């Protein structure tokens, strides 16, 4: 009888833990879904290439390559971390330049030259 009681309580505690775990992750999923529906731009991170940032922010890649003093062709697939290292400056500085270029392009797209051949227009 004692053993059965011990097992019963173990199952109840396990159930409560599983329910709490499920509740936590359902809440996180809902939070992500709400964020998803309200934001389209991803936070720029060191793993991203200039091409991915351009694609994510729907900006011509040429605009971003020029903003960090890179030649648009041939396409540079390196992550921002490596570009920053080569330019001997922190990756945050590269990110800031890209964010500024994106803001400038979105404010005045007509002031930027047409994209270089070979790049997809976002």
Partner 1 sequence: MRITDYLLATFGVYGLPVLFVVLLVGSAGVPLPASLLLVAAGSFVEQGELNLWSVLMLSATGAVLGDQIGYVVGRWGGRRLTLRFAKLVGGENRIEQTETWLRKREGVGVFLSRWLLTPLGPVVNLTAGATQYSWPRFFLYDVLGEMLWVVLYVLLGKFFSDRVQALNDLLGDLTWAILGLIAAIVLGVLAFRHLRAD
> Which residues form the interface with partner 1 (CB under 8 A)?
4, 7-8, 11-12, 14-15, 18-19, 21-26, 28-29, 32-33, 35-36, 39-40, 42-43, 45-49, 51-52, 55-58, 77-79, 81-82, 120
Min dist. Cβ of residue 92 to partner 1 (A): 13
Min dist. Cβ of residue 31 to partner 1 (A): 8
57-78 residues labelled b (16+ CB within 10 A) or e (exposed): bebbbbbbbbbbebebeeebee
Please state, in angstroms and rounded to a whole number, the distance separating the CA atoms of residues 84 and 96: 12
Nearer to partner 1, 28 or 100 (CB): 28
Please state, in angstroms and rounded to a whole number, the distance separating the CA atoms of residues 24 and 14: 15
Residue 38, both tokens: 């309200």
Nearer to partner 1, 36 or 111 (CB): 36
């Amino acid at each position: 009888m004692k053993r059965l009681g011990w097992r019963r309580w173990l199952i109840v505690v396990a159930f409560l833990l599983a329910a709490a775990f499920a509740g936590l992750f359902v809440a996180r999923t809902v939070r992500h879904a709400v964020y998803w529906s309200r934001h389209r731009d991803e936070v720029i991170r060191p793993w991203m290439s200039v091409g991915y940032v351009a694609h994510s922010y729907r900006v011509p890649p040429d605009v971003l390559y020029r903003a960090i003093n890179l030649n648009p062709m041939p396409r540079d697939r390196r992550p921002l971390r490596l570009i920053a290292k080569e330019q001997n400056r922190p990756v945050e500085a590269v990110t800031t330049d890209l964010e500024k270029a994106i803001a400038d392009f979105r404010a005045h797209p007509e002031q930027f030259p047409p994209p270089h051949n070979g790049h997809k227009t976002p």
